[in-house]
Amino acid sequence: MCSFSVRARFPALDRAILFFNDVLSPGDRQLHPTTTATMTLHDKFGRQITDLRISITDRCNFRCVYCRSADPENYRDHEEILSWPELDHLAKIFLSLGIRKIRITGGEPLVREGIEDYIARLHALGVEDLSMTTNGHLLAERCDRLLAAGLRRINISLDSLDPGKFERITRTKSFSTVMHGIDAAQKSRLAPAKVNAVLVRGLNDDEVESFAEFARDCGVIMRFIEFMPLDADRHWTRDLVVPAAEIYQRIHARWPLVQIPHQRSETARRYRFADGAPGEIGLIAPVTQPFCGHCSRIRLTADGKLRTCLFSKDDHDLRSLLREGASDEDLVTYIRSVVTEKEEGHRINEPGFVPPSRTMVFIGG
């Protein structure tokens, strides 16, 4: 039994409760998280928050150079990671607050046993858009089960089409296995799969045209992501970033592109091939063309921390609240107070920018 007050441990929670008691209607305060959404989340800049990234593990079977260190394992202990019941509980609360899209991430989500059952439970809760990000290593053998559970979309990482270079980037020998995973997704209802490549100058930026051709040949949505300062080895510099504008120019010069209309909160600028070829190109430019002004996303880390930006300096501890007996009403109030203070932007391009203490694998992609 907890021998002290949850609110004594979290003074910010008391302040949040006082604030929201003033601004919420009595109907809003009578929350039942298992029912359909009756409230929405907004930050102080007027952005509505509808997308939640849930990291279910910090463990990964790859060691990609832009994400993880080559050093020995530094995973968190199992008891530090949210249990499946805790993840279920928080998902219900977030859905009651107007979250419509959930993407499951890691680490590598497919290394955690029970993920198919978790997806099935999220699907049963009525998540409108349920997706997952994976490195693809285990996808071919799990694709049917994921579909049966209710998964509707998938993002697969692929940072080189050259097996040798793929091995250097991921520090694995899994190229053919990942390609089989992409093939399995393309033959299923998950098609067209989103295939993500993080470009790093001098490492894989010579493959832009090859990736575009891969999109045309296979009908995938090929997405290019600018390298961000989230690598565990802290090697990021601006010189290593391949700007989205350069990628666009190189592809457009060979295969003219036509922009596809998109929602303002989408991270990718999307293009189809003017000649009608299958496939699509997506450009995600958080460094050179930030899209913070329309951001609709928040993140839940595997160890139960709420993050309002990929580059947040602060974590907000939901795990401790859960384990110390906070009521659903208290959790809702705390989440709303945190989201209200969501950062205006990530500040990568400002002189005083400081990378977050967590690297990508400990945040969730």
Predicted local confidence at residue 224, as pLDDT: 98
Q: Indicate the pLDDT class of residue 299, thresholds 50, 70 and 90.
A: very high
15, pLDDT greater than 60: no
7, pLDDT greater than 50: no
Q: Where are the beta strands (DSSP E) in the chain?
A: 41-42, 48-49, 51-55, 101-105, 129-134, 153-157, 194-199, 221-226, 257-260, 269-273, 280-284, 297-300, 305-307, 316-317
2, pLDDT greater than 50: no
Phi, psi of 240 (to 5 degrees): -85, -10
Predicted local confidence at residue 3, as pLDDT: 34
Q: Indicate the pLDDT class of residue 233, thresholds 50, 70 and 90.
A: low
Predicted local confidence at residue 291, as pLDDT: 67
Phi, psi of 283 (to 5 degrees): -120, 120
Q: Indicate the pLDDT class of residue 32, thresholds 50, 70 and 90.
A: very low
Mean pLDDT throughout 267-287? 94
- CATH topology for 6-363 is TIM Barrel (3.20.20)
Mean pLDDT throughout 231-257? 87
Predicted local confidence at residue 30, as pLDDT: 42
pLDDT for 57-79, tens place per residue? 988 888 877 666 555 556 677 88
The larger pLDDT score, comparing residue 56 to residue 231, is at 56
Report the first-to-last Cα separation within the chain, whole angstroms: 35
Q: Indicate the pLDDT class of residue 5, thresholds 50, 70 and 90.
A: very low
Counted residue by residue, the chain has a size of: 365
Mean pLDDT throughout 3-23? 45
Query: Mean pLDDT lowest for which of 133-137, 169-173, 231-235?
Result: 231-235
Mean pLDDT throughout 6-14? 48
The larger pLDDT score, comparing residue 357 to residue 53, is at 53
Supply the pTM of this predicted model: 0.84
pLDDT for 145-188, tens place per residue? 999 999 999 999 999 999 999 999 898 999 999 999 999 999 99
Give the helix/strand (H/E) hosting 124. Answer: helix 115-125
Enter the DSSP assignment of 49: E
Predicted local confidence at residue 19, as pLDDT: 43
| Contact between 228 and 236 (Cβ < 8 Å) | yes
Predicted local confidence at residue 262, as pLDDT: 82
213, pLDDT greater than 90: yes
Give the helix/strand (H/E) hosting 249. Answer: helix 244-254
pLDDT for 306-356, tens place per residue? 999 877 778 899 999 999 999 999 999 999 999 999 888 766 666 676 666
Average pLDDT, the chain: 85
Rounded Cα distance between 249 and 352, Å, is 31
Rounded Cα distance between 39 and 61, Å, is 39
Q: Which two tokens stand for residue 124?
A: 């049963």
Ordered by start, the domain boundaries in the chain are 6-363
Which residue shows structure tokens 């300062």? Answer: 229
